[in-house]
A and B are shown apart, each in its own frame.
Chain A
Amino acid sequence: MQKSKLQFKIKNYFFAVSVIFALLLIAVPVFAAEIYFKTDSTTVRPGDPLEVLVSLNTEKEDINAVEGTVLFPDDILKLENINEANSILTFWPEKPRVYDGNKIKFAGITPGGYQEKTGLLFSITFQAKKEGAGIIEIKDSRVLLNDGQGTPTDVKTPNFQFSIFKEAPISKSQILVSKEDKDQPEEFKPEIAQSPEMFEGKYFLVFATQDKGSGIDHYEVCEGSKKKCVIAESPYLLQNQELNQEIFVKAVDKSGNERVVTIPAQKPLPWYKNYFVIAILIIGLIIAGAILRKILWQRFIKSR
């Protein structure tokens, strides 16, 4: 009796194992894009920098939009810098910025799509505050296909584990001397636009460029004179809605290199309001008057 029970159990086990193996054999590999962290070292010393590259592996999918939130332990890490230089994302509905002290939200697009394993989204530089261990993770991520419909694809977001201790080997990012960035930001062409749906139909300025060395720090818009500049973001509501003055847009990278683009006045002043035209006319009239006076004076003398 016991023998038959044993045989039954063995048969059952055999059946279960066979089913599992069969399922494994016929299982179709599931591709999922992956947002992952890349770094030189997972161990650092207190006070050392920890540079983490937030990257995308599309897993053969054609991807054109990515968003997510990076969470980091702010009790042991201090955020030093976020850099979008060399990112595959060319436009950012939401530039990576820190919220609530320990969250970095981002959303960006790459027009035309991207299909590679090592697409840099942005890099984050932390400074290790004190000894301890922690994880950096990504939440609320979404990766969309370049299919004209914004279809979401599966996404994997493995955590990044690190530890901070005094005896940690010196990290490569600390050994490497950062390359000096002497290049200006890339050339760009700002545009003046108008839309009834925004800024109450007023004129606004759009601009965007990249900096391959250190990343864009900020933009400045100067209306009328290069001396009247304000730090601005695109889209920028123009103060001078008459569009009768030149506009200068300055892109400044994180190393302080600048590129200035000039947009000529779109609707120049009418001639009678233009001081230069009036000045020419006045000078012409003065000269003409002087000549006329001379002629009349000569006639007067002759007549006497």
Chain B
Amino acid sequence: MMKNSKIYFLLILVIFGGLTLSLCYIQALEGTVNISAKVEGCGNGIIEGGEQCDADGSNGPCPATCSTSCTTNSCGGGGGGGGGTYIPPLVVTQVIFSGRAYPKSTVTLLKDAQISATTIAGSDANFSITLSGLSGGNYIFSVYSEDNKGIRSSLLTFPVSVTSGATTKVSGIFISPTIAVDKSEVKRGDNIAIFGQSAPQADIVISVSSEEEFFAKTISDKEGIYLHNFDTTVLDYGLHNTKSKASIGNLAVSSFSRVISFKVGTITVLKEKPEISKGDLNNDNKVNLVDFSIAAYWYKRPISAEFAIKEAERLNGDGKVDLVDFSIMAYYWTG
């Protein structure tokens, strides 16, 4: 009787074990829905074909045990007595970026126009990003940030020549403020609110331009938020552009923000929904390689009626895809 119960137990264990294993595997398969990519090759921490070792970011010359080409380093050693052995410092090719964004904002770093890192700025708006695993050569790095309302700054771009085995520091980055207005059309003589976010306690210069350029000044609060009610009495009827820039003391000055426009007319129309994102051809609120590829598909060929609607809405609306459309896309690029 005892023996039988043991066998029953074993039987149940095997059946349940088999089913659990199957279910776990099925669940694991069904759980894989997000698009993600695994990078293979030297420096990924996995020893693959043709590699003797791979210590992830610790690959390098002696004293590291694994070289940058994933071969085992012969670091000498052994041999006794006599003079000391020179151990060169660990050399890594990396770039360190530091600067100011907005308090607790997300800062995105692009390497050659593709997202390579993100970080969160501190409450003082300062951020720092270290990027390693680079080759020696010329790179185009860009940074942008997103404010507390989800509005993105313009891209701040800097070409950097990276030397293999050296650390390059890019400091003093000051991301331009974000900017928005509360009205798409404002009755002449009424105020229009121009607002956005920058570093805390920064001097903000707002430019409103048409034929003549007007400037206004304000200071951002401790959250980096600024607001200026601009009196439109001085403006003519028609379309006007506004942009802003920030400075702290005389040392740190940001570049100008994105340019946004509003109309001065006879009625006031509040801005309701967010504007259609220029350059975003697949409606994912990003402008990146996917959008570039969609536009490239139609480059210098007759566009379909379906795409013509999108081209009119999100590109320059001339019924064709050429360099001008790509330039618009490059301006609104998010990676």
Residues of A within 8 A of B (CB): 64-65, 67, 85-86, 88, 90-91, 93-94, 107, 109-114, 116, 119-120, 142, 144-150, 182-184, 186-199, 204, 206-208, 210, 212-213, 234-235, 258-269, 271, 274, 276-277, 280-281, 283-285, 287-288, 291-292, 294-295, 298
Contact = CB atoms under 8 A, between A and B. Distances in A.
A277 B240 CA distance: 64
Interface in B16-30: 17-19, 21-22, 25-26, 29-30
Interface stretch (B83-91, B131-139, B178-186): B131-139
Interface string B251-270: 00000001100000000000
B35 A212 contact: no
Given A91-B292, A111-B330, A208-B289, 5 more contacts: A110-B140, A197-B310, A206-B293, A259-B39, A268-B32
A252 B307 CA distance: 33
B11 A94 contact: no
Given A264-B36, A295-B4, A191 B290 contact: yes
Most buried by A among B26, B29, B137: B29
Most buried by A among B110, B142, B326, B328: B326
A212 B136 contact: yes
B233 interface: no
A281 B18 contact: yes
Given A189-B37, A259-B41, A261-B38, A85 B11 contact: no
Contact of B38 (A88, A90, A262): A262
A292 B11 contact: yes
B112 A210 contact: yes
Most buried by B among A189, A260, A261, A276: A189
Contacts of B323: 65, 67, 93, 107, 109, 142, 144, 150
B29 A148 contact: no
Contacts of A210: 112
What is the interface residue range for chain B against chain A? 35 or more
B327 A116 contact: no
A114 B326 contact: no
Nearest 5 Cβ contacts at the A-B interface: A284-B18, A212-B137, A150-B324, A111-B333, A112-B155
B183 to A, nearest CB: 20
B289 A266 contact: no
Given A94-B299, A182-B69, A295-B11, A198 B22 contact: no
A262 B140 CA distance: 25
A258 B133 CA distance: 16
Contacts of A264: 32, 36, 38
Interface in B296-335: 296-299, 304, 306-307, 310, 316, 323-333, 335
Given A93-B299, A188-B114, A212 B138 contact: yes
Contacts of B294: 193, 195, 197-198, 235
Contacts of B332: 148
Contacts of A266: 32-33, 35
B327 A64 contact: yes
A304 B138 CA distance: 88
Contacts of A262: 37-38, 40
A221 B327 CA distance: 29
Given A192-B35, A210-B112, A280-B18, A112 B40 contact: no
B281 interface: yes
B29 A195 contact: no
A65 B330 contact: yes
